[in-house]
Structure 1
Amino acid sequence: MGNRAGAAAAAIVCLLAAALGGCSDDSGSSGSASASASATGTAASGTVATASSPLGTILVDGEGRTLYLWEADTSPKSTCDGDCAKSWPPVTATGKPVAGKGAKASLLGTTTRDDGREEITYNGHPLYRYAGDTSAGDVNGQGSNGFGAAWYVLDPAGNKITKAAPSPSSSSPGDGGY
């Protein structure tokens, strides 16, 4: 009887999670991009698009969250691992990335990370989000010098924007590895 009750409880939890977008079907696709993207940097559809920001038109993921490059990456191979990847989650995808509004498909690519996941690149730059950006449109990581090199948003051509970010919101977390 204990196994049946445990299985029933697990089924209920999964049903609730699926309703909220947290379970996947047998194909591995999630019901919600935000559930996986927020925690791990994974863009469920692998979409890169553009959005207007205080820094100009910048690259964002499919949820409108700002994407960054790290100047320590001197090739398409990512060098941000461990604590760096916790503060700056790499944007990964399971499949070919998609160019959304304003992004150029010809500039999209992927690189294999040391853990085997595919990280999205744009114009040869591995892409990251900043854990201190809590909402779509936040640019709190702009110009940061965490983990030994600077972090910048990118324009639609895949070039870094060096313009200083406006003052971060009061909800910005600690140092992010400075």
Structure 2
Amino acid sequence: MTQYTFSLKALMLAAALALPTMAFAAEPAMMKEGMMVDHKGMTVYTFDKDAGGKSMCNGDCAKNWPPMMAPAGAKAEGKWSVIKRDDGTMQYAYDGKPLYTFMKDEKPGEMKGDGMKDVWHVMREHK
């Protein structure tokens, strides 16, 4: 009986440790205080020039505004989707909008890119 109890506890611990990983795969970012942040707490942005679920931010733009990359074979559901970038890599999108972070945001919660050139915006919760 002791061995069975120990095995059950070990199984439950393994399942609990796997849950955050599974949640991350399903939702690469989350809403915090009305705005979207990635799992490091960094602000997530949208780009007005993106259209039809396609990213228009490539090359130097993508260096300044790193896309939220999706690993090969990533699955998405609900409002989340995975789009193919011009270079063939995959990027997460939410509600059809490709998502990015901003290289000048140095710590969680910063929003230095909000309103940049009137085309970059913090992804906010729609009520």
TM-score strictly above 0.5? yes
- SS of the residue corresponding to residue 83 of structure 2 reads strand
Please give the per-residue CA displacement for 1:31-81, whole angstroms capped at 9, x wherever unaligned: xxxxxxxxxxxxx846110112xxxx1011111111000001122110100
The answer on 1:114 being equivalent to 2:86 is: yes
The answer on 1:51 being equivalent to 2:9 is: no
The answer on 1:64 being equivalent to 2:41 is: yes
- SS of the residue corresponding to residue 106 of structure 1 reads coil
1:139 maps to a residue whose letter is M
Structure 2: tracts of 5 or more residues without a match: 1-23
Runs of 4+ in 1 over 3 A off after TM superposition: none
Q: How many positions carry a matched residue from both structures?
A: 101
Percent identity of the aligned residues? 34
TM-score, structure 2 normalization: 0.73
TM-score, structure 1 normalization: 0.53
- SS of the residue corresponding to residue 54 of structure 2 reads coil
Q: How does 1:1-150 map to 2 (within 5 A)?
A: 45=25, 47-52=28-33, 57-94=34-71, 95-97=74-76, 106-145=78-117, 150=119
CA distance in 1 between counterparts of 2:87 and 2:97 reads 18
CA RMSD of aligned residues (A): 1.8
- SS of the residue corresponding to residue 142 of structure 1 reads coil
1:67 maps to a residue whose letter is V
CA distance in 1 between counterparts of 2:67 and 2:52 reads 15
CA distance in 2 between counterparts of 1:134 and 1:96 reads 29
CA distance in 1 between counterparts of 2:78 and 2:124 reads 15
Q: Which gives a bigger RCO, structure 1 or 2 (Cα 8 Å, sep 6+)?
A: 2
Higher helix share: 2
